[in-house]
């Protein structure tokens, strides 16, 4: 699906986007979409993450913010309008006895404490 040259080009584009302090520019939408779509495929299908979770979330959040600020630029093919790419067939399905709760973009102690409070609220409700 992607050639080694495509992979390298998209990786460089991702790093360029992440180094760019102005991720709110509407002209970034096509590049953000390309990088996010590739990152999804690389992560979910190939089991080879292109970006760290934090880097991915930063780009995904930037795309959502641009689309919210400029609703006319929101398209049906945007990564923000669907569930991620797919699931690798190389990994087995594993049933869980209890639900797996996401850390929901937790990157520091404060985020982790907020997550723990939300979980505790689920138990006491």
Domain ranges, ordered by start, for the chain: 4-93, 95-125
Q: Which CATH architecture has domain 4-93?
A: Orthogonal Bundle (1.10)
More confident residue, 76 or 22: 76
Write down the pLDDT at residue 103: 66
Specify the range with the lowest mean pLDDT, choosing from 59-63, 100-104, 111-115, 120-124: 100-104
pLDDT over 90 (residue 35): yes
| Band of pLDDT at residue 85, cut at 50, 70 and 90 | low
**How would you label 69-91 residue by residue, b for 16+ Cβ within 10 Å and e otherwise?**
eeeeeeeeebbbeeeebeeeeee
Q: Looking at residues 48-68, what average pLDDT do you find?
A: 92
Q: Looking at residues 20-42, what average pLDDT do you find?
A: 88
Of the candidates 51, 38, 52, 31, the residue with the CA atom closest to the CA atom of residue 4: 38
pLDDT over 60 (residue 96): yes
């Amino acid at each position: 699906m992607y050639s080694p040259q495509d992979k390298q080009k998209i990786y460089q584009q991702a790093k360029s986007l992440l180094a760019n302090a102005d991720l709110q520019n509407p002209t970034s939408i096509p590049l953000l979409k390309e990088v996010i779509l590739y990152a999804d495929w690389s992560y979910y299908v190939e089991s080879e993450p292109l970006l760290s979770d934090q880097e991915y979330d930063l780009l995904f959040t930037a795309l959502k913010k641009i689309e919210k600020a400029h609703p006319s630029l929101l398209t049906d093919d945007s990564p923000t309008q669907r569930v991620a790419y797919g699931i690798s067939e190389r990994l087995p399905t594993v049933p869980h006895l209890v639900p797996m709760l996401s850390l929901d973009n937790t990157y520091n102690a404060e985020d982790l404490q907020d997550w723990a409070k939300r979980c505790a609220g689920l138990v006491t409700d």
